[in-house]
Amino acid sequence: MGKIAFVFPGQGSQTVGMGKDLADKHSEVMEYFSKADKRLNVPLSNLIFAGPKEELTITYNTQPALLTTSIAILDYFSKSGVKADFVAGHSLGEYSALVAAGVLSFEDGVYAVRKRGEFMENAVPNGEGSMAAVLGLDREPLAAVAKEISESGFPVSLANLNCPGQIVISGSREGVERASVKAKEAGAKRVLPLDVSGPFHSTLMKPAANELLAVLDGIEMKDSSIPAVVNVTAEPVSVASEIKDKLIEQLYSPVLWEDSVVKMIDLGVDTFIEIGPGKVLSGLIKKINKIVKTYAVSDEESAQAVIEALKEDNL
């Protein structure tokens, strides 16, 4: 009998109107959006349901918006009785996974990622950091490029190891530009600059990590009820203190997504269910392993379709 993993998307999956159809029909789903508004003391639900998109895309809005939507969708979907053997999330999505595993309460999770977004936004002055997606180059040659550029005084590092042939680099604007040129010389097919507000998952995020530690120290964290495969090590973790350490490290360390998926497959997972808006993670998982089953639950229709498909698979 194969195992199931619930996976949760990160920044970039947000869309105006996400979660609205479920919230309109189900009061218990709407309750999550109301709780988020109350905890943050801002009309977050209005921003999620109606936009404007430019405001929803600001990091400190995107992060609590995605967590709220993902957990609201999870609450609706879990009434079907489908249970996960593992949870994981991409960057910000790791917090959704930890709420799902009972490590953080929903309200504390929303508050923590709001603060995380603020700290990330403020860690590096606007325009001084950037990120780019490097396509068609393996991690070893790209890591060598990043090391060479960083050692010449322009910090740049591997930020997201998403799937074979897709790695995001992050760092100083100059570092990313220089590494982009070198990556092409080393054989990268394409390098795409990303529209982000800062150099996430690079060493430039260390000031934000110190501030985040103070926030997490003030929040109750419990041992997880389901093992969480964390970004920093791609290993399952259940102990609260260790999870907290990994959340701090995650801000300035690479997101080992490909390794995390491979690890879960090694541990017997053959079904991945992406919970939240979009299908970004499902797409990455298919590129990592074509044999495993991937499903995405983002609204009522997709939830019902997944429940039917799982019944047919006798899961």
Give catalytic residues, as residue numbers. 91, 201
Strands 156-163 and 86-89: unpaired
First to last CA, the chain: 8
State the SS3 of the chain: CCEEEEEECCCCCCCCCCCHHHHHHCHHHHHHHHHHHHHHCCCHHHHHHHCCHHHHCCHHHHHHHHHHHHHHHHHHHHCCCCCCCEEEECCCHHHHHHHHCCCCCHHHHHHHHHHHHHHHHHHCCCCCEEEEEEECCCHHHHHHHHHHHHHCCCCEEEEEEEECCEEEEEEEHHHHHHHHHHHHHCCCCEEEECCCCCCCCCHHHHHHHHHHHHHHHCCCCCCCCCCEECCCCCCEECCHHHHHHHHHHHCCCCECHHHHHHHHHHCCEEEEEEECCCCHHHHHHHHHCCCCEEEEECCHHHHHHHHHHHHHCCC
